[in-house]
């Protein structure tokens, strides 16, 4: 090694040093960050770069591949195929040479699944070349080309795609949408499906396309993907309803009534097909006094807390317990005793909720659900107050589907009355106005007139729409706490105070977050843990905000405006 080192040119030595640094960084990142966080940084998903590159770039990329491979063999830490591919990609990106990273799966001789990653630049495989043909590609990531070739399709018009997606998702689709969809280019289809995926409505889009008879218009690869997704969600939801049926039996025996909230109701009762509405968790509501029985029932069925529960801290800080998980079941259960946080302008006494429930048979289980008007109010509350529209298009589709499904059974006068007396008016109005902006006449005009708050900023709906579509770009969902830091009209001192308040939160908040008793001496340790978690969560965003990266700053601004309007007492 020493001998060889002396024969190398300075440029080569420098390259090896750079490769060492990148391999170390890649290793650390892979250790501490989940892959779904890393993936967006690797380039555009399911896009490939060209198979040719200039001779100059080919030569440079060849040297980079050599450096990464040479160092990877010698690092004292493990430098696996993925770390190599990421390192080489970063080194190429610094030099503005586009490359594609591939991830593949294959069964080995013992029929066990094996994963592999390799990097291609032009026609050369720079890392992970050996045996890569054995693996079937499951996803790939390309750098956007710096200089698009003249014969490449133009970038699809985002506003057009946004409008098309909305029109296709309309519960009673207009027939004139068919011809616009039939004329889409392959790139535009890609963009449409990608936007739908970001907004969590891909399966709904698939169902609408299917019912419009557009199967042949969609590029086959995309169609198969969507179809697979729907199958997967159908099977997963069946598992969820099976668990629900068991929980129902257990709680029935204990005489504990419970309400199935949101997705658990929507998927089986509102959407036409079980595979159209995915749920990540099952939210169940019980009366506070029944919470211990609920926990016991979940324990008996094999459900376990994902983190230790401190009941007193939970009650002070939240409206539900931390989620429960069960081995071999791909979803979580969140036991609720309320649907609003405590001590907010829109907080509600949970006793009121129980006056608006009704019996319902969900996939064979006789349970309780909210009556349609409360269902609508809850979904609107969730989209507005809980997430300030940084959520997704799915939450609005949920409401539009509910309105269409219920028809005259939806008591609009109750919606208005409850929204006003519970101080939910602004959030509910904004949500419904947005739905009407997307799908005209979904909400009766008189409802909007009666709900419209006084002194509403005129551009608020347009701003909310923009926020909904472009506030989620590039994975930079900006948290409310975080965006408050960028409020311009606050003095530096307030900002520092605020930053301290979430870096050094109250003992109560810590107790909720980490499930330790408030008075435990251990709680001081969790200040450190919390600090680490905060840094992990916010470093990249802070960096963007400090550098004034335009879309992050704008997202933060929009969010502040929305949140402050929603938060004012009504």
Question: Does 237 sit near another protein (CB under 8 A)?
Answer: yes
Question: Does 239 sit near another protein (CB under 8 A)?
Answer: yes
| Both tokens assigned to 277 | 């509405």
Do residues 364 and 403 lie in contact, with contact meaning Cβ atoms separated by under 8 Å? no
Least distance (Å) between residue 206 CB and another protein: 12
Stretch that binds another protein, among 227-235, 456-464, 512-520, 554-562 (CB under 8 A): 227-235
Q: Closest CB to another protein among 127 and 230?
A: 230
Least distance (Å) between residue 363 CB and another protein: 5
Q: Classify strands 281-285 and 332-336 as parallel, antiparallel or unpaired.
A: parallel
Q: Closest CB to another protein among 143 and 243?
A: 243
Question: Does 293 sit near another protein (CB under 8 A)?
Answer: no
Closest-CA residue to 38 (of 97, 98, 103, 94): 103
Q: Which helix (H) or strand (E) holds 65?
A: helix 55-72
Q: Closest CB to another protein among 271 and 514?
A: 271
Q: CA dihedral in degrees (477, 480, 485, 491; nearest 10)?
A: 150
Q: Which helix (H) or strand (E) holds 36?
A: helix 35-38
Question: Does 245 sit near another protein (CB under 8 A)?
Answer: yes
Q: How many residues does the chain have?
A: 570
Question: Does 242 sit near another protein (CB under 8 A)?
Answer: yes
Residues 351-390 that bind another protein (CB under 8 A): 363-364
| Both tokens assigned to 80 | 């696996």
Question: Does 227 sit near another protein (CB under 8 A)?
Answer: yes
Among 229, 273, 326, 554, which residue interacts with another protein (rule: CB under 8 A)?
273
- Sequence-distant (6+) residues with CB within 8 A of 551 are 470, 473, 474, 476
Least distance (Å) between residue 298 CB and another protein: 17
Do residues 274 and 220 lie in contact, with contact meaning Cβ atoms separated by under 8 Å? no
Query: Which residue's entry shows tokens 């592999």?
Result: 116
Question: Does 246 sit near another protein (CB under 8 A)?
Answer: yes
Least distance (Å) between residue 247 CB and another protein: 12
- In three-state secondary structure terms, 230 is helix
Q: Closest CB to another protein among 182 and 224?
A: 224
Q: What is the CA radius of gyration of the chain?
A: 26
> Left, alpha or beta for 111 (phi > 0: left; psi -120 to 50: alpha)?
left
Cα(278)–Cα(192) distance, integer angstroms: 19
Among 95, 107, 158, 231, which residue interacts with another protein (rule: CB under 8 A)?
231
Among 64, 82, 90, 274, which residue interacts with another protein (rule: CB under 8 A)?
274
At 331, give phi and psi (nearest 5°).
-155, 170
Q: Closest CB to another protein among 30 and 363?
A: 363
Least distance (Å) between residue 139 CB and another protein: 24
- In three-state secondary structure terms, 331 is coil
Least distance (Å) between residue 281 CB and another protein: 18
Q: Closest CB to another protein among 156 and 264?
A: 264
CA distances from 266 to 17, 263, 283, 391, 411 (A): 55, 5, 12, 17, 18
Q: Closest CB to another protein among 81 and 278?
A: 278
Least distance (Å) between residue 213 CB and another protein: 15
Least distance (Å) between residue 214 CB and another protein: 17
Q: Closest CB to another protein among 380 and 401?
A: 401
Least distance (Å) between residue 245 CB and another protein: 5
Residues that bind another protein (CB under 8 A): 227, 230-231, 234-235, 237-239, 241-242, 245-246, 273-275, 363-364
């Amino acid at each position: 090694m020493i001998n060889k080192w002396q024969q190398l040119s300075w440029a080569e030595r420098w390259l090896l040093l750079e490769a060492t640094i990148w391999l170390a960084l890649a290793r650390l990142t892979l250790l501490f960050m989940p892959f779904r966080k890393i993936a967006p940084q690797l380039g555009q998903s399911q896009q490939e770069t060209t198979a040719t590159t200039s001779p100059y770039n080919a030569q440079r990329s060849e040297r980079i591949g050599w450096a990464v491979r040479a160092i990877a063999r010698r690092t004292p830490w493990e430098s696996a195929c993925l770390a190599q591919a990421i390192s080489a990609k970063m080194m190429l990106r610094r030099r503005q040479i586009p490359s594609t990273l591939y991830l593949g799966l294959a069964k080995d001789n013992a029929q066990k699944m094996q994963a592999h990653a390799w990097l291609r630049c032009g026609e050369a495989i720079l890392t992970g070349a050996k045996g890569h043909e054995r693996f079937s590609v499951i996803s790939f990531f390309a750098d956007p080309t710096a200089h698009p070739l003249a014969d490449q399709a133009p970038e699809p018009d985002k506003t057009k795609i946004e409008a098309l997606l909305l029109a296709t998702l309309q519960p009673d689709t207009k027939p004139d949408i068919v011809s616009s969809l039939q004329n889409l280019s392959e790139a535009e289809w890609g963009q449409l499906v990608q936007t739908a995926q970001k907004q969590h409505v891909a399966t709904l889009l698939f169902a609408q396309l299917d019912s419009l008879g557009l199967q042949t218009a969609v590029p086959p690869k995309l169609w198969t993907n969507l179809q697979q997704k729907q199958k997967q969600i159908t099977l997963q939801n069946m598992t969820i309803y099976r668990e629900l049926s068991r929980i129902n039996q257990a709680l029935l025996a204990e005489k504990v009534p419970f309400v199935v909230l949101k997705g658990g109701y929507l998927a089986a009762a509102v959407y036409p097909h079980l595979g159209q509405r995915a749920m990540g968790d099952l939210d169940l509501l019980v009366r506070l006094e029944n919470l211990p029985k609920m926990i016991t029932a979940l324990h008996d069925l094999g459900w376990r807390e994902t983190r230790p529960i401190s009941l007193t801290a939970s009650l002070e800080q939240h409206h539900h317990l931390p989620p429960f998980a069960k081995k071999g079941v791909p979803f979580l259960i969140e036991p609720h005793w309320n649907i609003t946080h405590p001590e907010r302008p829109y907080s509600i006494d949970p006793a009121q909720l129980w006056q608006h429930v009704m019996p319902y048979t969900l996939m064979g289980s006789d349970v309780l659900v909210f009556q349609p008007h409360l269902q609508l109010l809850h979904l609107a509350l969730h989209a507005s107050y809980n997430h300030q529209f940084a959520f997704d298009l799915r939450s609005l589709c949920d409401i539009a589907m509910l309105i269409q499904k219920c028809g005259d059974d939806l008591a609009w006068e109750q919606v208005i009355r409850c929204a006003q007396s519970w101080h939910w008016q602004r959030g509910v109005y904004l949500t419904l106005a947005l739905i009407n902006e997307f799908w005209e006449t979904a909400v009766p005009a008189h409802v909007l007139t009666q709900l419209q708050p006084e002194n509403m900023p005129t551009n608020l709906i347009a701003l909310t729409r923009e926020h909904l579509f472009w506030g989620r770009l590039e994975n930079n969902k900006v948290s409310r706490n975080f965006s408050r830091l960028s409020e311009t009209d606050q003095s530096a001192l307030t900002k520092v105070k605020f930053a301290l308040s979430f870096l050094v939160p109250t003992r109560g908040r810590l107790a909720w977050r980490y499930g330790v008793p408030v008075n435990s001496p251990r709680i001081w340790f969790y200040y450190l843990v919390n600090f680490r978690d905060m840094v992990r969560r916010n470093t990249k965003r802070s960096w963007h905000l400090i550098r004034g990266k335009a879309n992050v700053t704008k997202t933060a601004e929009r969010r502040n405006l929305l949140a402050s309007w929603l938060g004012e007492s009504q």
